[in-house]
Structure 1
Amino acid sequence: MNLPNYTGPLHPEGQKVRHILCLSGGKDSTALALYMRDKVPEMEYAFADTGEELPETYDYLAMLEAYLGKPIVRLNPDRLFKHHLDIRKGFLPSGRQRWCTELLKIKPFEDFIGDDFVYSYVGIRADENRSGYISSKANIIPVLPFKDDGLEYKDVMQLLDDSGLGLPKYYEWRSRSGCYFCFYQQRNEWVGLKERHPDLFEKAKTFERFDDETGTRFTWNQRESLSELEQPERMAQIKADHQLRLERQKNFVSADLLDILGDDDDSETGCLICHL
């Protein structure tokens, strides 16, 4: 791995140097924290808490914190999702308007850094053709240890297995981390939320809104509301379609089952600062 070169606690220009790994509660950032624990002892760990995370995410972070032997700083203590939603008159975040990521993930992270000179460690794997969150701030320098050292999906899984942490429990029914109402969820994952956390599914429904006069719909999914999706016959169809896709996927070599997508219109890549 190409560790950043610096000559002590201060940057040559007099700025404080910090090493920070922002966790999402997902498999890759967790594996990176395990990988870097002894390589960079001064590493700081942070998690931007929207207050709208899955219980499994909080449980997993607590286990990781115990393993690291260092605190994971919780950012965004005010948890202002409902506040920002009200300001936007119920306009829900979406793939085109990801204000939740900007205001509840990126801004708290950049506020936490301030003007310090920071090496920001990102869990992009060597087998991925994508880049992580890159700040426009000149004092934040991204570091990609997995890419530098050639670590791939199988290596990430080995790190998680060797630590005893394994995968977060939500991977039993969900393909990535993020808020329980994340608009990048596949339809079968919404079904999983309904079955695993009916209280959170009901809470997500309360954020949807319909304007009868204008016909405007503010829904998490552009094609159907959660009230429509939760109908028994619709959920049965979604589960059957998903199972069929899984069966077809078996014909492909080196399939990563955690990354199998559901409906075609659910195939957008999520916000990496949330999902890594």
Structure 2
Amino acid sequence: MIMGKERHVVALSGGKDSAALAVYLKHKHPDLDVEYVFTDTGCELPETYEYLDRIRAVLNIDITVIKPEKGWDDYWTLVKVKETPYGIFPYLPSPQQRWCTEVLKLQPYEQWVAKTFTDCIVHSYVGIRADEAADRKGMVTRNPLLETRFPFIEDGLALKDIERLLTDSGLGLPSYYSWRKRSGCYFCFYQSKREWLGLWRHHPDLYYRAMEYETYLPEKGIVFTWCQGISLGELLEKRDDFAILPEEGKNNTEYTVSPDNKLIKTLSHINQGGGGSNSVSVSITTRSDGRKTAEAP
């Protein structure tokens, strides 16, 4: 082990906080050699991949994509509850049983770090904000050579600061924020009923795929559903009871990138207003596979 050598890593989630962290580090510490990575569970929203392309273009960075050796369906066939008179049923992950996060996100990332950086201390930067729950900071790695850093907490940045960073850099928010509050897999169990219905409206194929994983046999006492107390099939039947969020459907395809002097001013006076209005366009193109990419001139 060659002690004293250090590396710096930002794990991107495809959401606003980790994207803002990439902006923050790039402009506050321009000389820092940062490795940007994304752990692809294989169950991401199409908008997540579009946003990652946009991050690459606007920030002019490379993003290493990590993929778990086994995917969701592989683990799904292995995770079982004990046998019942009606058979053996796999159980869905939940806020109390986040096994999907463990095997599809955390383990692949830590394995990648262990294989990639064998002779140095790795500083892993996490985009948890100063105004978020304190217990989120407790999610630390088990690797003794992986030191977790929380720049937003250290510097006191809250939600409004993160939003300003994304606006001033030209990144903006991921388009799925018009109908969903957080990044994550399409079947994320943290989704509200309205967000599930947003998935149905925007990606019906993914909604119906999520339905296939549910086991809903209430008459036999066997219920494994994504939403507590209701199956996705029932939710569809009752969809008129849930109003569409007013911002849903707003999805601009043209963005603006502010000059660096405006972003630097924002970083220097993070709690004050932004600067000038000069901007350049970012073009959005559709690839042959249907995914959209962003290109900055």
Question: Which category describes the TM-score, using the shorter chain as reference length?
Answer: 0.7 to 0.9
Instruction: Compute the TM-score of the two structures, normalised by the length of structure 2.
Output: 0.72
Change (3 A) 1:210 1:160: same
Aligned residue number for residue 112 of structure 1? 112
CA contact under 8 A between 2:6 and 2:122: conserved in structure 1?
yes
1:132-166 deviation digits (Å, cap 9, x = unpaired): 33112211111111122222211111110111110
Instruction: Please identify the structure whose Cα radius of gyration is greater.
Output: 2
Select which of 191, 209, 220 maps to 2:197.
191
Cα–Cα, structure 1 residues 77 and 70, in superposed 2: closer, same or farther, change >3 Å? farther
Is the strand fraction higher in 1 or 2?
A: 2
The residue number in structure 1 matching 2:164 is 158
CA separation in 2, counterparts of 1:126 and 1:98?
24
- The aligned counterpart of 2:101 is 101
Cα distance in structure 1, aligned partners of 2:167 and 2:219: 54
In the alignment, what sits opposite 1:123? Answer: 127
In structure 2, distance between residues paired with 1:212 and 1:237: 22
Which is richer in helix?
1
Partner of 1:255: none
Does the residue aligned with 1:230 lie in a helix, a strand or coil?
helix
Task: Find the counterpart in structure 2 of residue 67 from structure 1.
Answer: 58
Corresponding residue number in structure 2 for 1:236: 240
User: CA 1:212/1:190 → structure 2, altered by over 3 Å: closer, same or farther?
Assistant: closer
1:25 aligns with 2:14: yes
1:214 deviates by 4.1
AA aligned opposite 2:35? E
- 1:204 aligned partner: 210
Count of matched residue positions in the alignment of Structure 1 and Structure 2 = 228
Identity rate of aligned residues, in percent? 46
Worse overlay, 203-212 or 94-103: 203-212
> Within the alignment, does 1:84 sit opposite 2:75 as a pair?
yes
Correspondence for 1:251: none
Match of 2:184 among 178, 181, 195: 178
Structure 2 unaligned spans of 5+ = 81-89, 247-297
Per-residue displacement from partner, 1:30-60 (whole Å, max 9, x unpaired)?
0000111141531011111111011111100
Output the CA distance in 2 between the equivalents of 1:209 and 1:126.
39
In the alignment, structure 1 segments of 5+ residues that lack a partner are: 1-9, 244-276
Where relative contact order (Cα < 8 A, 6+ residues apart) is larger, the structure is: 1
Q: Pick from 5, 16, 26 the counterpart of residue 37 of structure 1.
A: 26
Cα 1:28–1:99 change in 2 (3 A) is same
How far apart are the structure 2 equivalents of 1:62 and 1:26?
13
Q: 1:42 to 1:31 in 2, by over 3 A?
A: same
8 Å CA contact 1:51, 1:79 repeated in 2? no
Question: Does the CA-based 8 Å contact 2:17-2:128 persist in structure 1?
Answer: yes
The separation in 1 between residues aligned to 2:158 and 2:228, in whole angstroms, is 34
Check conservation: 1:50, 1:76, Cα contact below 8 A.
Answer: yes
- Structure 2: distance between partners of 1:212 and 1:26: 36
CA contact 2:130–2:157 (8 Å) conserved in 1: yes
SS at match of 2:10: strand
TM norm structure 1: 0.77
Q: What is the aligned counterpart of 2:143 among 128, 137, 141?
A: 137
Q: CA deviation at 1:212?
A: 7.6
Native 8 Å contact 1:20 1:118 kept in 2? yes
Structure 2 distance, partners of 1:215, 1:153, is 42
CA gap 1:92/1:129 in 2 versus in 1, 3 angstroms:
closer
Instruction: Give, in angstroms, the shift of residue 79 of structure 1.
Output: 5.5
2:3 counterpart letter in structure 1: H
Deviation at 1:183, TM superposition (A): 0.6
Q: Distance in 2 between matches of 1:151 and 1:96?
A: 29
RMSD: 2.0
- Flag the 1:239–1:79 CA change in 2: closer, same or farther, 3 A: farther
Q: Which moved more, 1:93-102 or 1:124-133?
A: 124-133
